[in-house]
């Protein structure tokens, strides 16, 4: 872990893990509570290294997410691009918040993301007809402190900055 060559790998690897967590089968009752893993990891990297991870990365990740979810091509791409954009605007402010306040800001960003995705579902004719649709925002917000600490440690180990 202590050597330098984890550097080029660590960001892609974290996205790969986020993808796997998104694809992982969950029991039926838990399916609506799955946090938006990819959005969380993306927000972290945009916040920590805005010069490396930006809108382009977000867009490509979104396209891959669309394909892996069988969603409309571009749906999550648009969502994640907007997420990255908002994070880029406010990263300097969010960075210095205490963890719980960061969690709340992340939840606000994810509200925008969810509204966009919901809107696209609606436009294409099939809005998810359940309040559980909004649950990932809450679970993601609660998970944020752990993800933040974990990824920060990983980043420091690898001396990425």
x/- site string to another protein, residues 20 to 39, per CB under 8 A? x-xxxxx-x--xx-x-----
Integer Cα distance of 145 and 130 in angstroms: 28
Cα separation of the two ends of the chain: 16
Judged by CB under 8 A, the stretch of 77-85, 89-97, 99-107, 148-156 that binds another protein is 77-85
Please count the residues of this chain forming the interface with another protein, following the rule CB under 8 A: 40
Please state the length of the chain.
Answer: 161
Distance in angstroms (rounded) separating the CA atoms of residues 42 and 80 = 8
- Residue 149 CB, nearest approach to another protein (Å): 25
Task: Determine which residue in the list 56, 111, 138, 149 makes contact with another protein, applying CB under 8 A.
Answer: 56
Structure-block tokens of residue 157: 């180990």
Secondary structure (DSSP) of 41-71: HHHHHHHH-TTTS-HHHHHHHHHHHHHHHT-
Nearer to another protein, 67 or 115 (CB): 67
Chain residues that interact with another protein, rule: CB under 8 A = 16, 19-20, 22-26, 28, 31-32, 34, 55-56, 58-59, 62-64, 67-75, 77-78, 81-82, 120-121, 124-126, 128-129, 133
């Amino acid at each position: 872990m202590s050597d330098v060559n984890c550097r080029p790998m660590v960001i892609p690897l974290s996205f790969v893990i986020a993808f796997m967590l998104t694809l992982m089968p969950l029991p039926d009752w838990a399916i609506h509570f799955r946090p938006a893993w990819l959005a969380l990891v993306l927000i972290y990297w945009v916040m920590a290294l805005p010069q490396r991870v930006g809108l382009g990365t977000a867009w490509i990740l979104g396209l891959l997410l669309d394909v892996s979810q069988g969603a409309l091509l571009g749906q999550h791409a648009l969502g994640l691009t907007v997420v990255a954009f908002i994070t880029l605007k406010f990263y300097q402010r969010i960075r210095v918040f205490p963890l719980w306040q960061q969690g709340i800001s992340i939840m606000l960003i994810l509200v925008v993301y969810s509204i966009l995705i919901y809107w696209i579902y609606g436009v294409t004719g099939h809005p998810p007809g359940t309040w559980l649709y909004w649950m990932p925002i809450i679970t993601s917000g609660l998970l944020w402190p752990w993800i933040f600490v974990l990824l920060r440690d990983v980043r420091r180990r690898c001396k990425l900055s």
